[in-house]
Amino acid sequence: MSLERTAVAVTGAGSGMGEATAERFAERGADVVVVDVDGEAATEVADRIDARDGGSAVAHVADVSDADDVSAFVDRTVEEFGTIDVLHNNAGIPQQSTPVEDVTEETWDGVVDVNLKSAFLGAKYAVPHMRDQGGGVILNTASTAGIRPRTGLSAYCASKGGMITLTKQLAHELASDDIRVNAICPVATDTAMLPSFSGEELRVDDMLDTIPLGRLAEPGDIANAAVFLASDEAAMITGTALEVDGGRDI
């Protein structure tokens, strides 16, 4: 599955699912902008990609909840590689399992801004470029929590449910521009962020017990889904929320 000379921007690519996805795109020949709020992590990933055969990479520091930062990394992608063929809105933050009455407005706003507003901003600034170049692909990392909620994750589940609905709306709105939009819905994934969800009423073991295949997702599972959805093999797929969940949503 070649993505030779495809220009891809991946947010939250300094670690976890985003890191694995950026590397997988590069393995398929893509040129990648590694976007992360942590500049050191982004640079490390980009340098590692550049040192291998395959695509090239540059690092870009951005807060994906900030409109100017999002506009800047989209423009950087076009400046570096001539187009922005794929935008993967992957960056996200967790919410510790907390009863709704104890969730602060600050927590709610922070989760929604990073997990949902960021995808709106990404589309806002990438779509004009994609339309001018004759098409493109937008991928949004949602979650199984947007389909089957987890205990105590009101802000997180709302943000991911919104991501799924936004994906469907954008797919409908942008189809005539040959811009495909899909969401990826990972189940609990074995990354450094996972323990941050735990609270008095939700533990990682509780999450594992709900997955019929009997294991957590790995970052590579999500990377494989992203590369497929961005490829020509998925040319007839838009508006879907692909469950990478080991059966969690059955």
Tell me what pLDDT residue 231 has. Answer: 98
Question: What value does the CA radius of gyration of the chain take, rounded to a whole number of Å?
Answer: 17
Tell me what pLDDT residue 218 has. Answer: 95
Tell me what pLDDT residue 200 has. Answer: 66
Nearest to 156 by CA among 208, 211, 124, 193: 193
Cα(187)–Cα(216) distance, integer angstroms: 7
Cα(111)–Cα(40) distance, integer angstroms: 23
Q: Is 125 a catalytic residue?
A: no
Q: Which of 11, 156, 164, 223 is catalytic?
A: 156
Query: What does the pLDDT profile of the chain (250 residues) look like in tens digits?
Result: 689 999 999 999 999 999 999 999 999 999 999 999 999 999 999 999 999 877 899 999 999 999 999 999 999 999 999 999 999 999 999 999 999 999 999 999 999 999 999 999 999 999 999 999 999 999 999 999 999 998 999 999 999 999 999 999 999 999 999 999 999 999 999 898 888 787 766 787 888 889 999 999 999 999 999 999 999 999 999 999 999 999 999 9
Residue 6 is which amino acid?
T
Which H or E element spans position 88?
strand 86-89
Task: For residue 234, give every residue at least 6 positions away whose Cβ sits within 8 Å of its Cβ, in sequence order, or none.
Answer: 180, 182, 228
DSSP 140-180: EE--GGGTS--TT-HHHHHHHHHHHHHHHHHHHHHGGGTEE
Q: pTM for the full model?
A: 0.96
Q: Decide: helix, strand or coil at residue 136.
A: strand
The CATH code of the domain at 7-244 is 3.40.50.720
